[in-house]
Copies of this chain bind each other. A is one copy, B any other.
Amino acid sequence: MEPFLDRLRTAQSDAGTCLCVGLDPDLDRMDEAWTRGVSPFVALNRFGQAIVRATAAVACAFKPNLAFYEAHGMAGLAALEELVGAIRRDAPHALVVLDGKRGDIGNTARLYAQSAFGWLGGDALTVSPYMGRDAVAPFLEYEGRAAFVLARTSNPSAAEVQDLRVNDEPLYRHVVRAATRWADGLPGTLGFVAGATDPAALAELRALAPTAPLLVPGVGTQGGDAEAVVAAAGDGPLLVNVGRAILYADDPRAEAERFAAALRV
């Protein structure tokens, strides 16, 4: 398989944007037309596939959030399998970034990699760094795939751990440097997750990891601004995720095009 960064470049050139569409389908937030009288499997399936078709032309990637499928048990996971198939069929240029934030010891991480890259056939997975190199390296042993390590996330309480001061610097900077060492010599691509809501932190992260792809959630509903993110992320590879603001828009296609215009590459 071609290196992840080459595939990302091609996907972005095909789509013309660095927009990643976050697939966090919440049955309680969908218009009732999707859910009335049908099973969760059918609702998740129809809704997800409609979003993929509506946004495929302007999305370089899709980011299914595994929790939104796991919450519905076997039916949800069957819908997730269908969703990945639908992306491959209706958006063949796009990458699939699975958002699972997995993180466990080496022998277990290898099985999460098998689940994400084997079973589900994803191109990348989000990964937690708390358990150190053991929890990250197994994902980077897959040539052509990527692991996006949580660095500085966009949620309100992220600072409680990620900004703790270590040698007069926030913890997340140490995580970025450590993960960069862990990736050394491995064939996969190391990326980082950094929230859109703090462009200054994003710019600092880019300075620490000039060539790593950054996956930036938090644009749209969470308040991050697309132009500010693009400016802060500089010249390195970038994926800007927009989820809820597109999924629950009256016209998801128009909303995706609006974000895409601010995220041209």
Contact = CB atoms under 8 A, between A and B. Distances in A.
Contacts of A26: 107
A105 B174 contact: no
Interface residues of A, number: 57
Interface string A65-78: 10110111110011
9 contacts: A67-B109, A103-B103, A103-B130, A129-B130, A130-B153, A132-B158, A132-B162, A134-B158, A165-B167
Interface of A: 24, 26, 65, 67-68, 70-74, 77-78, 81, 99, 101-109, 111-112, 114-115, 118-120, 128-135, 150, 153-162, 164-167, 171, 174-175, 178
A65 B108 CA distance: 8
Instruction: Give the number of copies in the complex.
Output: 2
Given A78-B74, A171-B164, A134 B157 contact: yes
Which 3 A-B residue pairs are closest in the complex by CB-CB distance?
A132-B157, A132-B160, A73-B119
A69 B114 CA distance: 11
Contact of A166 (B107, B109, B112, B166): B166
Contacts of A158: 131-132, 134
B157 A112 contact: no
Contact of A119 (B72, B165, B166, B167): B72
A26 B112 CA distance: 13
